[in-house]
Amino acid sequence: MLIVIDRLLNAEEVRQFRDQLSDASWIDGNQTAGSRSLAVKQNLQLDRHDATARELGNLILNKLGNHPTFVSASLAETIWPPVFNLYQDGGHYGTHSDAALMRLPEANLTIRSDLSATIFLTEPDEYDGGELLIEESFGAQAVKLEAGDMVLYPSSSLHQVTPVTRGQRICAITWMQSAVADTSARSMLFDMDQSIQSLSIGREKDDPDIDRLIHVYHNLLRRWANP
């Protein structure tokens, strides 16, 4: 399930992010790479403890928590603090999969990465290359979105960032543990919730048909949610 959420950040918010990130202290992204990722990762990123990263990351977390499509699609229980990265001068991240378990020592927390998200902070015409290629059962999908847009996809997917040959590609990335670990079950729940919302338009709030669908939705969620 690959879901694009348009305008998670509006134009003014993107400008605020870009202004603050222009003076940020970028470090070599290999400092946080796993042993196998060292060979395929070439980018810059902000340290997780950087004040700018924390401030902007909290703004993103607030946006996600209040976005109905994200909440419906992810059923997120825990969200990893967003990481900011920059690709330029041929920077890339070869084909890889995200770690299944991610440890946050300062919070004494380990999360299972069910979903990954990339929030684009530069416009697609500001750089060449830099496509996020996500391998799905029906083939690889190339994603290069407008600034402020986000793509949500299963962390189990193989994916890569192609080399940036002109300009800079700046994004925020994050991962989340869902209340429903199974991708297909989560996808069906999302489709059902979206259908309920569409069918509810123009109907009474106590419409019995809608109530029955909501009843089925929550019983399925109850069955599939983590114990």
Q: Pick out the residues of the known binding site for 2-oxoglutarate.
A: 169
Cβ partners under 8 Å of residue 155, min gap 6: 97, 98, 100, 113, 114, 115, 116, 175
DSSP reduced 3-state for 198? helix
Radius of gyration of the chain (CA): 18
Burial class from Cβ neighbours inside 10 Å (0-12, 13-18, 19+) for residue 67 reads: middle
Please enumerate, by residue number, every residue annotated as part of a binding site. Answer: 96, 98, 159, 169
Which of 194, 186, 172 is closest to 69 using CA atoms?
194
Please enumerate, by residue number, every residue annotated as part of a binding site for Fe cation. Answer: 96, 98, 159
Distance CA(202)–CA(186), nearest Å, equals: 27
Cβ partners under 8 Å of residue 129, min gap 6: 92, 162, 163, 164, 165, 166, 169
